[in-house]
Amino acid sequence: MNSEFDVIKKYFTFPDARQDVLIAAGDDCASVSVPADKQLLITTDTLIAGVHFPEKTSPEDIAYKAVMVNLSDLAAMGATPAWLTLAISLPQVDEVWLQKFSATLGDLLKRFNVSLIGGDTTKGKLSITVQAMGLCDKDKIMRRDQAKAGDKIYVTGHLGAAAIGLHVVLNNLDDEQLQPCITKLNRPEARVKFAEALVSYSNCAIDISDGLVADLGHILKASACGANVFLSKIPVSSASSYYFEKYNEAETDWTMLLTRGDDYELCFTVSEKNEAAVIELARQHALPLSCIGEITEGSELNFLNTDGQRQSFTDTGFKHF
Binding site for ligand ADP (CB under 6 A): 8, 12, 25-28, 86, 88, 116, 118-121
Q: Please count the residues of the chain.
A: 321
CB of 11 to Mg ion, least distance (A): 16
Query: Mask 108-147, x = binds Mg ion (CB under 5 A)?
Result: ------------x---------------------------
CB of 88 to ligand ADP, least distance (A): 5
Of Mg ion, ligand ADP, none, which one sits near residue 27, judging by CB under 5 to 8 A according to partner kind?
A: ligand ADP
Nearer to ligand ADP, 90 or 198 (CB): 90
Nearer to ligand ADP, 48 or 222 (CB): 48
CB of 124 to Mg ion, least distance (A): 14
Contact 210, 94 (CB under 8 A): no
Between CA 200 and CA 140 the distance in angstroms is 8
Neighbouring residues of 191: CB distance < 8 A, sequence distance ≥ 6: 72, 75, 156, 157, 207, 264, 265, 266, 287
Of ligand ADP, Mg ion, none, which one sits near residue 163, judging by CB under 5 to 8 A according to partner kind?
A: none
Of Mg ion, ligand ADP, none, which one sits near residue 86, judging by CB under 5 to 8 A according to partner kind?
A: ligand ADP
Name the 3-class secondary structure at 296: strand
Nearer to ligand ADP, 63 or 220 (CB): 63
Of Mg ion, ligand ADP, none, which one sits near residue 79, judging by CB under 5 to 8 A according to partner kind?
A: none
The neighbour count for residue 277, using CB atoms within 10 Å, is: 15
CB of 134 to ligand ADP, least distance (A): 18
Nearer to ligand ADP, 25 or 159 (CB): 25
Neighbouring residues of 307: CB distance < 8 A, sequence distance ≥ 6: none
Between CA 136 and CA 138 the distance in angstroms is 6
Neighbouring residues of 78: CB distance < 8 A, sequence distance ≥ 6: 136, 140, 141, 142, 195, 196, 198, 199, 205
Neighbouring residues of 104: CB distance < 8 A, sequence distance ≥ 6: 59, 60, 63, 64
CB of 27 to ligand ADP, least distance (A): 5
Of ligand ADP, Mg ion, none, which one sits near residue 88, judging by CB under 5 to 8 A according to partner kind?
A: ligand ADP
Query: Is 314 exposed, middle or buried, given 0-12, 13-18 or 19+ CB atoms closer than 10 A?
Result: exposed
Q: What DSSP designation does 111 have?
A: H
CB of 39 to ligand ADP, least distance (A): 24
Count of positions on this chain that bind Mg ion (CB under 5 A): 1
Please report, as ranges, the residues that interact with Mg ion according to CB under 5 A. Answer: 120
